Each structure stands twice: as structure tokens, then as C-alpha cells.
Amino acid sequence: MDASAAQREALLATARAMGAARLNVGTAGNASLRLGSDGSYLITPTGLPAEACSPADMVTMSPDGIPQGTRAPSSEWRLHHDIYARRPEAGAIVHAHPPFATALACRRAEIPPFHYMIARFGGSTVRCAGYATFGTQALSDLALAALEERCACLLANHGMVVFGRDTAHALALAIEFEMLCEQYWRTLQLGEPALLSDAEMAEVVARFSWYGQPQDQDRS
């Protein structure tokens, strides 16, 4: 399935918004969106800053991981490909190297339940995937494990990956995740934080199952 003009424009706008939000600098990071149920997707090109790209530079990838057109896909295309294959709810993916998430990723430790908004990403913690060289199948495998029952994870000595239902949702989650990472980093400067219990986090996870849905907009 080839991408529409609107899809290409949406992905490019997301890539540029990542830079504006300080999630990325230069050619770091990448983003993609699912094109259809066949496993095809659109991804940002490798080695080109978003500001220098046009919608036509976004790369269509086949279900078999074959790029279409003249541009080469992001070096992390395997990561995107495997998330779409494993997680049908993923409509768009953002991978970035923002300051606070990357700093925490260099600790190679998960983010514990220091704040209830951790549940926004699917569980009581946000895991940190083990280290592997960028662009490799090993990195993709480690990230998939860290994303089990989650929509975000850290990548050791690397950055973050987040997925959402569409580009706007994935970008919003990535920005929110970086904010949480900053809050946790700042908390660590004061010492180890008090953590929420398993029961407290389970209640928040359950509440997030309906939070923000149209039929429940009267709830707060």
C-alpha cells in the first residue's frame, strides 16, 4: 500500500514537531505510521534532518521490509517493522533521543512508580531495554520485550521509543514521557523518591482504561 499525500504530510509534520519539542536534534531519531493491515508503513528517511525533507522524502516500506522509492529508510526501520508486526494497536511510532529520557536510559534501569502518570504507558513501571547496536535485530528484539504490555520504553544508552494510535497521539505520548523522565531525573537529585504501591498503581492503570474516552468525558 502506498501512502497518501496527507499521510506523508502528517509524518513529516510529526518529525519536525519532534525537533521543535526538543525530542531530537539534527538527524537523530525517527518516526513512522502504519499504512494498513497488510503491515506496510511510512517512515522518515535516514540521514536527512526533518527541516530539509519534503513529504515525498518519506519512505514507504512493504510488509517484507522493502523500501519503495529512491530514499533509504531510517536505520531503525527494523524496530518499527517489528513493533507493527507484534502490536496491532500501534498506529504510529516515535523513536527519539531527548535529554532526560536518554540520561535515564544510560542508567540501564527502569523508571519505577514514582508518579501515578507512569500508568499512562501501560503498567506500574517503564522498562529499559538492554543495550544493542542501533539498527540491529538485537535492538528490536530487546525493545519488543521491554514494550510487553507497555506503549513506551527506554533503550539502554540510546533513547526512547513510544507508540500511539496515530501520529498526533504518539507524539503527545513521547512529549509526556520526556516530561516524566525530567521529573524523575529531578527527583533523583533529592534522593530516592517514595514509590506508589502495587495496589495504588493497579487502581490507576484500571482508571486509565477509560480515561479520556468520548463516552466518559464527564468524568474527572
The residue segments making up the domain with residue 46 are 5-211
Q: pLDDT of 1-41, one tens digit each?
A: 678 899 999 999 999 999 999 999 988 999 999 998 888 99
Rg of the chain, C-alpha, whole Å? 17
| Cα distance between residue 9 and residue 55, in whole Å | 5
**DSSP label of 4:** P
Residue 149 annotated in active site: no
| Cα distance between residue 135 and residue 118, in whole Å | 27
Considering the candidates 9, 51, 76, 110, report the single residue annotated as catalytic: 76
How many domains does one find in the chain? Answer: 1
Q: pLDDT of 51-105, one tens digit each?
A: 999 999 999 999 999 999 889 999 999 999 999 999 999 999 999 999 999 999 9
Residue 220: inside a domain: no
Residues with Cβ < 8 Å from 51, sequence gap 6 or more? 16, 19
**DSSP label of 53:** -
The angle formed by the CA atoms of residues 48, 138 and 111, to the nearest 5 degrees, is 85
Residue 132: inside a domain: yes
The pTM score is: 0.93
CATH of the domain at 164: 3.40.225.10
What is the pairing mode between strands 152-155 and 128-129?
Answer: parallel
Which pLDDT belongs to residue 219? 40
Cβ-based neighbour number of residue 87 at 10 Å: 17
Q: pLDDT of 126-157, one tens digit each?
A: 999 999 999 999 999 999 999 999 999 999 99
Residue 217: inside a domain: no
Residue 216: inside a domain: no
Residue 42: inside a domain: yes
Mapped onto helix, strand or coil, the DSSP state of residue 39 is coil
Q: Which of 43, 26, 25, 24 is nearest to 34 (CA)?
A: 43
Cβ-based neighbour number of residue 54 at 10 Å: 10
Residue 189: inside a domain: yes
Residue 218: inside a domain: no
What is the pairing mode between strands 59-61 and 67-68?
Answer: antiparallel
